[in-house]
Amino acid sequence: MNARRGALIASLAALALGLSACGGGDGGDNGSAGSGDGGEPIKVGIIADLTGATGDVGKPYNEGMLAYIDYRNANGGVDGRQIQATSNDYAYEVPKAEQLYKQYVNDGVVAVQGWGTGDTEALHTKVAQDELPFMSGSFAESLTDPAEAPYNFVSAPTYSDQMRIALNWINEDSGGDAEVAVFHHDSPFGLAPVADGEAWVSEKGYGLGYQAYAMPAGQQNYVGLLSQAQSQGAKYIVIQNVASPAAQVAKDIKAQGLDMKIVCLNWCANELFITTAGADVAEGHMGVQPFAPIAAEKPGHEEMVSYLEDKGQDPATKGTSWVQGWMVMHVMAEGMAKAAEDGEVDGPSIKEALETMGGIDTGGVIGDGTVEFSAESHRGSTSAGVYTMEGGKMVEVEAGATP
């Protein structure tokens, strides 16, 4: 027995443990690293779903966001300062999002761009305590109330508003007496508009039947769910889920020869739904989409198109999710620019800028074109477009529809 040698080994092990724990590192810098003229870069943290359950739309959303930052930095940044974004994948797992968030706070970001409803809700008290403005791909109603979530900003109409718009359209289309089945993702995201939709039907006195069904994850097909909807007598299926499972429902409807019309909300009302299902299968289904697709050629799309053409990419390949990412980042950057104009760019000043700056012009891309927050409401917009899938394209039926 050699006690001294044991002690030596132990101290080496302790040292190694200490060293490995100290070797911290930064996240992958996906934004522009170049420094602008106007001083320090503005740091933003992005929590993205690239490979998780909602990765099919999460990845283009993230790409749109990074593209906007690239575009903005190349055009002078925010008040001469570059936006430095750190983007990491959290695979739609709440604990991973919490870990990333802590990393970003430690890196000294001034704002965070999140993604899912579950993680946004999980983080909303923390962002309030850390005073970091937080936008996300989640448009849940609970995030629009500053008393509840003071640092969360929802830049598009909420899922509940989209559901109301969908129900208004169904009421009109059906003549007021149809059965509606709501297929939703089995998560806080999916459940977000379900109860509000039911309340809307009774509030408006619509003669619509309303029944919600959770879409089980990892399903090969949704024939079972459709037969439940069929016994309900459903003619309309509102889907609150991402594009891939919604496209599967469309395929199953076609294969079973059912007479049902899908009304997709937000995350499945996009080109991915059409391409995954196939243009002939998607034909005639509907979508409520607050963000106008590039094909709609609104004024706000011009800078996207010119950016993409400069980069040698085809704008036609970029779906609505990409536009959403670009636009949400645009709204955040406008808030930063306003804060920079007034002085310091930090969490509280961006929040104040967003609340007091009035309408942010999105060139007709989000809802009726303007996103406006106030100290009483963080609901940026209440209007969305209604689209029909026609010949493999999203064709506008109604622009700027409100509940």
- Give every CB contact of residue 132 below 8 A, 6+ residues apart in sequence: 105, 109, 110, 111, 112, 151, 347
Q: Is 377 exposed, middle or buried (0-12, 13-18, 19+ CB in 10 A)?
A: middle
Which amino acid, one-letter code, is at 6? G
Q: Which of 37, 124, 152, 199 binds another protein (CB under 8 A)?
A: 124
The residue among 210, 258, 257, 216 whose CA lies nearest residue 238 is 210
Q: Which stretch binds another protein (CB under 8 A): 5-13, 162-170, 235-243, 327-335?
A: 5-13
Taking the complex as a whole, the smallest distance from the CB of residue 348 to another protein amounts, in Å, to 14
Cα separation values, 109 from 22, 33, 43, 256, 296, Å: 21, 15, 5, 51, 35
Phi and psi (nearest 5°) for 393? Answer: -130, 160
Q: Binding residue for another protein (CB under 8 A) from 37, 54, 57, 98? A: 98
Site for another protein in 30-69 (CB under 8 A): 50-52
- Under the binding rule (CB under 8 A), the answer on residue 145 touching another protein is no
Give yes or no for residue 102 binding another protein (CB under 8 A): yes
Question: How many other C-beta atoms lie within 10 A of the C-beta of residue 345?
Answer: 23
Rule CB under 8 A: choose which of 38, 70, 94, 393 binds another protein: 94
Radius of gyration of the chain from its Cα atoms, rounded to whole angstroms? 23
Other Cβ atoms closer than 10 A to 223: 17
Which range binds another protein by CB under 8 A, 114-122, 309-317, 335-343, 382-390?
114-122
Q: Which of 73, 103, 158, 171 binds another protein (CB under 8 A)?
A: 103
| Bridge pairing between strands 111-113 and 134-135 | parallel
- State the nearest-atom distance from the C-beta of 213 to another protein, in Å: 14
Among 38, 70, 79, 118, binds another protein (CB under 8 A): 118
Check residue 199 for interaction with another protein (CB under 8 A): no
Q: Which stretch binds another protein (CB under 8 A): 4-12, 227-235, 259-267, 380-388?
A: 4-12
Q: Does 18 bind another protein (CB under 8 A)?
A: yes
163 binds another protein (CB under 8 A): no
Check residue 227 for interaction with another protein (CB under 8 A).
no
As given in the structure block, the two tokens for residue 282 are 């998607």
**Binding of another protein at residue 7 (CB under 8 A)?**
yes
The DSSP call for residue 220 is S
List the one residue from 138, 158, 187, 349 that touches another protein (CB under 8 A).
Answer: 187
Do 376 and 157 touch, CB atoms closer than 8 A?
Answer: no
CA distance 207 to 64: 41
* Residue 239 in contact with another protein, rule: CB under 8 A: no
User: Which residue ranges make up the site for another protein (CB under 8 A)?
Assistant: 1-7, 9-11, 14, 17-18, 20-28, 50-52, 88-91, 93-96, 98-99, 102-103, 105-107, 118, 121-126, 129, 142, 187-188, 191, 195
